[in-house]
Every structure is written in structure tokens, then in C-alpha cells.
């Protein structure tokens, strides 16, 4: 059985992320959404909060679990006994970076494959950074993040 990991910062999870998770969950029985803890990057939400957002947003999906990791993805994949990395692509501009990462992960973990899923075209412009900026200015983020977390994201910015 294939064990898949969809890694990312998910700061916060967006509808684009949820689109990729939903489609990957339909393809694989065991999908872990793994929140990256990057000590070199200032996150808008704690790892616990991001994991809660993902759990609430994916509660309707079978076979999806949520975890976190720091360090190398290849090491995490080995620890989990996982062999497939799911990566979402918004536009062709994402591909070059993601391809380099896939090549590096393949070098570090020979038994790991990376599968790229294009997000729905309606989400092709969307990023967590954009959501945070919009929310900080009081903009409408409905339809950009899952309905389950709209109020939580807005409350961070006093909205």
C-alpha cells in the first residue's frame, strides 16, 4: 500500500490546498498532510493552530491524517514509511522549484516518488501569504480558505 505525504506550511490552509488534498485522498487510502515547522520562517499561525485548521477542513475526507515535521522531508518520509510525496502546482512558475525539490528528494530517498497535482484553475492565484495580507487589511477571505476557518483567520487580525 502506498503511503502519501502532502507537505507544506499551510499558514493557513487555503482552498487551493484543500483542492489538492481532496483529489489526493480520492487517489490514495493513506494521506498525511504534514505541516512543516521551519524555524527560519516567521509563521502567522502556530503549528498546532495550522494542524487544527487542516483537521477541521478535512474532517469529511476518509484516510486523511495530519502531522507535523521539521528537518528534511526525506527523513520524515522514511520515519513514516511513506513512499509518495504529493505537491500542488498553481502555475508553471511553481514547476521549476518543485521539480528541483523532487529531484533532491529522489536523491536522498531512492524509494520516494513525487506526484504533482495542478490545483483547480479557480485557485491558481491563491497563496497563504495573500490570504494573510488580505485578512490583515479586513478583506473578504470567504472562498479563499475553507469555510470552517474563515472566522479564525479573521480573528487573528482583529476582524
Catalytic residues: 17, 41, 90, 128
Cβ neighbours, 10 Å, residue 41 = 9
Beta bridge partners of 104: none
d(Cα 79, Cα 69) in Å, to the nearest integer?
A: 10
d(Cα 136, Cα 139) in Å, to the nearest integer?
A: 7
Please give the distance of CA 54 from its chain centroid, rounded to a whole number.
9
Beta bridge partners of 117: 88
d(Cα 141, Cα 54) in Å, to the nearest integer?
A: 17
Amino acid at each position: 500500500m502506498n503511503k502519501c505525504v502532502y507537505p507544506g506550511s499551510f499558514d493557513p490552509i487555503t482552498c487551493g490546498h484543500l483542492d489538492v488534498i481532496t483529489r489526493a485522498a480520492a487517489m490514495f487510502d493513506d494521506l498525511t498532510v504534514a505541516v512543516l515547522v521551519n524555524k527560519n520562517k516567521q509563521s502567522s499561525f502556530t503549528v498546532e493552530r495550522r494542524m487544527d485548521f487542516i483537521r477541521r477542513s478535512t474532517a469529511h475526507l476518509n484516510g486523511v491524517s495530519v502531522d507535523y515535521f521539521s528537518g528534511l522531508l526525506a527523513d520524515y518520509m522514511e520515519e513514516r514509511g511513506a513512499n509518495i510525496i504529493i505537491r500542488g502546482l498553481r502555475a508553471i512558475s511553481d514547476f521549476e522549484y518543485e521539480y528541483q525539490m523532487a529531484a533532491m528528494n529522489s536523491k536522498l530517498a531512492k524509494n520516494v516518488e513525487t506526484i504533482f497535482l495542478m490545483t483547480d484553475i479557480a485557485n491558481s492565484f491563491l497563496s497563504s501569504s495573500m490570504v494573510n495580507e488580505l485578512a490583515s487589511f479586513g478583506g473578504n477571505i470567504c472562498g479563499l480558505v475553507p469555510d470552517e476557518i474563515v472566522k479564525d483567520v479573521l480573528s487573528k487580525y482583529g476582524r
